[in-house]
Amino acid sequence: MASTLWLSACSKDNSAAKSDPLTASNPATGEASTLNERNAQQRLITTLDQHFKAANINAKIVAVKKTEVPNLFWVSLEGMGSVYATSDGQFIIQGDVIRLGDKQLHNISEALQATENKKHLAALKTEDLIVYPAKDGKAKHVIYVFTDSSCPYCHKLHEHVADINAKGIEVRYIAWPRGEQFMPTMQAIWCSEDRKSAFNQAAQGLPVLAGECKNPVREQYQLGLNMGVNGTPAIYNAEGVYLGGYMSANEIEQRLNK
């Protein structure tokens, strides 16, 4: 922890609240409440930045959001996914926070992360992706898939793209090479005139010959890190909700129709 912040992705004492400078007091109006919350978030960002700098941790805070847990904030870090931080900025927690009390467990991270993911996905240009339209052009749903042409499970999913399209689901591939050694191939695919054919070729283990070009592969890889991607395939719906890794066409349809 002295020099590097390690994060894993896919995978409060009430008595202190009175003296906690980062805990907003109960305001008289909703406007004051919003202002107090923004101030608390900004103070937390400042405090965390100071702690990161002191510990020689190179981490950039992208977003901070209040959670349903008292004095606990969700913090999105650029290229590192997200963590939780106590309101005084003295502790960060890696992993999921689970709410109990119902028949099903609820991961409070999912909705917070999905809100950010939706913004990221909406900002993508279709010309920077590999798009497989729904059958007859009638899309009921759109899914985004972080993929790597060297990934066996990506190959397996790729075999079912036509079946997925037949269910009215448009598939959009985002480049996510799983290591630097796979970066050149993914860049070659994205620089090809026919990306679909190039992806098929690479998936068969054949070399892809394409000239260098300005391409979005590294930016898309960074996007995946920001969204918490740590393996491929990683499937998201248009709302930014993570659906899972490899799934059959029927399973994807079921998840989308929930």
Identify the CA nearest to 170 among candidates 138, 196, 146: 138
What is the C-alpha separation between 217 and 220, in angstroms, rounded?
Answer: 5
Q: Residues near 72 by Cβ (< 8 Å), separated by ≥ 6?
A: 12, 84, 85, 86, 87, 93, 97
The catalytic residues are 148, 151, 154, 178
What is the C-alpha separation between 213 and 184, in angstroms, rounded?
Answer: 11
Q: Residue 104: exposed, middle, or buried by beta-carbon count in 10 A (0-12, 13-18, 19+)? A: exposed
Angle at 153 between CA 180 and CA 251, to 5 degrees: 135
